[in-house]
């Protein structure tokens, strides 16, 4: 009688799962599948073909997939290769506190190319993937004009504080903040447009809004000062880099696939207004999937006419870590990070470094999240190409997540001991 066992059956979303099968016919070819429905009912599936050993056993930590959505030894491949049944859907956990993602694992005693209700699995198991640990507190933030959610780890603290910024997806995205809180950080997931009474569309970036968020975080009794970190991606990483440049409260900044200059909308801070670099609609390209590649869409920060729009990274007092996906199809992020580091060096500064991940795309998420190759923009009118090779992207997510935590631990806890 075949049995399928995944341990732990309930775990954090960034923790690996050990998948094994026993009781199979010796040397049997089998199909392993994973499926989950998000909170909107969108179905995500993956599959891989394996061969049992002479004892009728299968261990995904040792056995290679022979085909399907990935090939080779990838113990978590069924998770990171999940694909939306309806194209261009991005898997995003909305309610991080009260429910996990439930992933159903099935094994079939044959090679099943097509899903069919007529074929029943030989064995199944449901795996729960949580985005918070027991004792995590979620505090809704509605102070002045600030909108967000603060995640506090269990215990008295004080904890290193981080502001978490996403990009053009808009709204309040909480899954990364809640996961970081499971690792001992107090994290403010901050919305800045398309949420509650905030502007529906982003027309300008007011850096004082983000300064207010930094001050709110530092004023909290469970936050360890004297400085905070910023975790940021895409448009959020452009804002995160601006925070590093202008806000003394920011001592450690992670920029995932962002720009080194102001694009699309002006940035305002007190009396300063930085105009965006011109973009060129005619340089948009359409991928074979129908998604739009924005890689060549933006003007060049190195052009003399654009120098006033380049962020003064040499003013940043804290440490900056650029996380770069070399297969980013949305932003020329490697070039922008390179320019930023050269700018630092030309001013005798060495407080920035870059991690480059070959094959990784634009949306580098926590480990085991499926690659989102393309998805609809916030307005829903355009399908945007993000890029990434699934295997390389998965490896990048796993490595970068550890590097990000080490970076914040080093620079947020060190500042306290230096006082």
Given a cut of 90, whether residue 415 has pLDDT beyond it is no
pLDDT (tens digit per residue) in 144-200: 999 999 999 999 989 999 999 999 899 999 999 999 999 999 999 999 999 999 999
pLDDT score at 419: 35
Identify whether 399 is a catalytic site residue.
no
- Comparing CA positions, the residue from 46, 85, 5, 132 lying closest to residue 394 is 46
Q: What is the DSSP letter of 299?
A: P
Q: Which of 35, 234, 333, 375 is catalytic?
A: 234
Tallying the residues shown for the chain, one arrives at 419
d(CA 43, CA 251): 41
337 pLDDT more than 60: yes
Does the annotation count 362 as an active-site position?
yes
- Which of the 8 DSSP states describes residue 395? H
Residue 341 three-state SS: helix
Which pLDDT does position 113 carry in this prediction?
Answer: 80
- What is residue 358's predicted lDDT score, i.e. its pLDDT? 98
pLDDT of 416 strictly over 70: no
Q: What is the pLDDT, as a whole number, of residue 193?
A: 97
pLDDT category at 116 given cuts 50, 70, 90 is low
Which residues fall within 8 angstroms of residue 164, CB to CB, at 6 or more apart?
173, 176, 177, 180, 187, 188, 189, 190, 231, 232
Helix (H, G, I), strand (E, B) or coil at 199: coil
- The 8-class DSSP code of residue 212 comes to H
Tens digit of each residue's pLDDT (9 = 90 or more) over 86-108 = 999 999 999 999 999 999 999 99
CA–CA gap between residue 83 and residue 69 (Å, rounded): 9
Write down the mean pLDDT value for the chain.
95
Closest CA to 291 of 330, 326, 331, 234: 330
330, 289 in Cβ contact below 8 A? Answer: no
Task: Centre a 10 Å sphere on the Cβ of residue 317 and count the other Cβ atoms it contains.
Answer: 14
Cβ atoms of 154 and 183 within 8 Å: the answer is: no
Q: Where are the beta strands (DSSP E) in 316-367?
A: 319-325, 352-357
Mean pLDDT to the nearest integer, 224-243:
97
DSSP class per residue in 137-187: EEEEEEETTEEEEEEE-SSS--EEEEEEE--TT-S---HHHHHHHTTT-EE
Q: In this prediction, what percent of the chain has a pLDDT beyond 70?
A: 97
Spatial contact of 60 and 19, defined as CB atoms under 8 Å apart: yes
Work out the pLDDT band at 128, boundaries 50, 70, 90: very high
pLDDT score at 301? 96
pLDDT given at position 380: 63
Is the pLDDT at 204 greater than 60? The verdict is yes
As beta bridge partners, residue 104 has 35, 126
Active site residue 69: no
Average pLDDT over residues 336-343: 98
- Please say if the pLDDT value at position 368 is more than 70: yes
The pLDDT, as a whole number, for residue 414 is: 57
Q: Is residue 14 within 8 Å of 33, Cβ to Cβ?
A: no
**Among 74, 183, 362, 411, which one carries the catalytic annotation?**
362
Tell me which of 74, 328, 333, 411 is the catalytic residue: 328
Q: How confident is the model at residue 257 (pLDDT cuts 50, 70, 90)?
A: very high
């Amino acid at each position: 009688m075949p049995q399928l066992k995944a341990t732990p059956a309930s775990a954090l979303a960034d923790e690996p799962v050990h998948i094994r099968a026993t009781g199979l016919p010796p040397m049997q070819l089998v199909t392993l599948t994973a499926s989950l429905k998000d909170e909107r009912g969108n179905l995500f599936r993956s599959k891989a073909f394996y061969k049992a050993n002479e004892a009728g056993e299968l261990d995904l930590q040792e056995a290679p997939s022979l085909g399907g959505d990935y090939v080779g030894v990838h113990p978590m491949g069924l998770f990171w290769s999940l694909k939306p049944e309806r194209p261009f859907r991005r898997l995003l956990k909305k309610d991080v506190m009260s429910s996990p993602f439930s992933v159903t694992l099935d094994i079939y005693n044959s090679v099943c190319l097509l899903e069919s209700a007529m074929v029943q699995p030989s064995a199944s198991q449901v795996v729960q993937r949580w985005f918070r640990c027991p004792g995590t507190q979620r505090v809704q933030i509605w102070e002045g004009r600030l909108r967000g959610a603060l995640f506090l780890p269990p215990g008295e603290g004080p904890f290193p504080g981080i502001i978490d910024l996403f990009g053009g997806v808009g709204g309040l995205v909480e899954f990364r903040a809640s996961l970081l809180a499971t690792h001992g950080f107090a994290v403010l997931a901050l919305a800045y447009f398309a949420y509650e009474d905030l502007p529906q569309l982003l027309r300008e970036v007011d850096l004082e809004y983000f300064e207010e968020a930094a001050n709110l975080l530092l004023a909290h009794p469970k936050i360890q000062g004297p400085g905070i970190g910023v975790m940021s991606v895409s448009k959020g990483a452009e804002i995160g880099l601006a925070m590093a440049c202008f806000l003394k409260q920011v001592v450690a900044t992670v920029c995932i696939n962002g720009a080194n200059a102001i694009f699309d909308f002006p940035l305002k801070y007190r009396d300063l207004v930085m105009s965006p670099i011109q973009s060129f609609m005619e340089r948009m390209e359409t991928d074979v999937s129908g998604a739009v590649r924005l890689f060549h869409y933006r003007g060049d920060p190195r052009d003399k006419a654009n120098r006033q729009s380049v962020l003064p990274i040499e003013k940043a007092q804290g440490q900056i870590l650029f996380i770069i996906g070399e297969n980013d199809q949305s932003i020329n992020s490697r070039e922008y990070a390179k320019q930023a580091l050269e700018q630092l060096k030309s001013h005798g500064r060495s407080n920035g470094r870059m991690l480059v991940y070959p094959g990784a795309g634009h949306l580098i998420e926590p480990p085991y999240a499926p690659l989102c190759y393309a998805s609809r923009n916030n307005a829903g009118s355009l399908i945007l190409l993000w890029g990434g090779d699934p295997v390389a992207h998965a490896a990048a997510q796993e490595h970068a997540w550890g590097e990000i935590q080490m970076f914040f631990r080093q620079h947020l806890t060190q500042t306290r001991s230096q006082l």
